[in-house]
Amino acid sequence: MRNLVDIHSHILPFIDDGSKSTEESIKILTELKNQGITDVFATPHFFPQIDDDGDFNENLQNSYTELKNAIKDKCVPNIHLGCELLYYYGISNSDSISQFCLGGSNFLLLELAPYKIKNKLLKDIISLRDEKKIIPIIAHIERYSYTKSFGKLLKFIKKEKILTQINASSLFERKSYKTIKKLIKKDIVSFIASDTHSIDERPPMMEEALTLIEQNFGQDVKLKLIGNSKSLLEKILEESKLNAKNKQLISN
Ligand SMILES: [Fe+2]
């Protein structure tokens, strides 16, 4: 497979529970490239209750710079910066949420806190979208299947056309596979991503996952998921240019 975009990964070294060294990051990036990935979003975790956004941004830039220098002569995917933000109550009241969006766009990779999947969270997601104009993408949606509110969450996602992402590796776990099968039938999976954390324990599995999707759910589903990530990258690149222009206009 070629020209794939991976919107969720933990490839930056030393910043979260993902890559533990620059060497490991290079190994993961090389594996992504071998699986046909041309562009990857580095989305380290941000946990609002314990992380400081100033420190996070500094660490992110340092980690990215170190990795960029190390891959100068290497044939690896293009890296775009982002974050995987853990949901917190009142997220839609924040005025600085855009700093966590993917590549300076308005798309936000949002991890849900399972015990917080309640009406308040659903309202927050709507406010983020409608008032703050931030478009949430729910990370690894299949992971919340054990929660009491999963059915309600799915109805909400379907009704409000909320974007969702599944992990490639989840297709190879029996329970998660069953959930993903249900989600694909309901047509509520927008993206597939690696969420890779390491080369040994949580390696990229995009190629195997897309092959399995084609075999079990059909070529159309596979092509739709690949196409969605590509279109998202294009939108993000456009939006980030526009947002940067607007920022400049405001500061002038
Ligand atoms: Fe993740």
Mean pLDDT for 26-36 is 98
* pTM to 2 decimal places: 0.95
Q: What percentage of residues in the chain have a pLDDT greater than 90?
A: 92
* CATH code for position 141: 3.20.20.140
Residues 33, 4: Cα–Cα separation, whole Å: 9
Write down the pLDDT at residue 198: 97
For the record, the structure tokens of 206 come out as 């995009």
pLDDT at 251: 72
pLDDT computed for residue 240 by the predictor = 84
136 C-alpha to center of ligand 1: Å? 15
pLDDT tens readout for residues 212-235: 999 999 999 999 999 999 999 999
Reported confidence tier of residue 247, pLDDT bands at 50, 70, 90:
confident
At 192, list the tokens: 């597939």
Distance, CA of 93 to CA of 87 (rounded, Å): 12
pLDDT at 252 (0 to 100): 67
> pLDDT at residue 52 above 80?
yes
| Average pLDDT rounded to a whole number, residues 198-204 | 96
CA of 24 to the centre of ligand 1 (A): 17
Give the tens place of pLDDT for each residue, 149-163.
999 999 999 999 999
**Runs of H (alpha helix) within the chain:** 22-34, 53-70, 119-130, 150-160, 174-185, 206-217, 219-251
Residue of higher predicted confidence among 240 and 171: 171
Task: Tell which wins on pLDDT, 1 or 124.
Answer: 124
Please tell me the total count of domains within the chain.
1
Query: Is the pLDDT at 50 greater than 80, yes or no?
Result: yes
Give me ligand 1 centre to Cα 45, in Å: 7
pLDDT of residue 245: 81
Q: What is the mean pLDDT of the chain?
A: 95
- Contact, 162 vs 142, CB < 8 A? no
Instruction: Calculate how far, in angstroms, residue 109's C-alpha sits from the geometric centre of ligand 1.
Output: 9
How far, in Å, from the CA of 19 to the mean position of ligand 1?
A: 12
173 lies in which domain range?
A: 4-251
For residue 92, the model assigns a pLDDT of 95
Confidence at 241, pLDDT banded by 50, 70, 90: confident
Query: What separation in Å is there between the alpha carbon of 190 and the centre of ligand 1?
Result: 16
More confident residue, 120 or 247: 120
Does residue 249 register a pLDDT over 80? no
Distance 246 CA to ligand 1 centre (A): 30
pLDDT band at 248 (very low <50, low <70, confident <90, very high): confident
Q: For residues 39 and 197, is the Cβ–Cβ distance under 8 A?
A: no
Mean pLDDT in residue range 120-136? 97
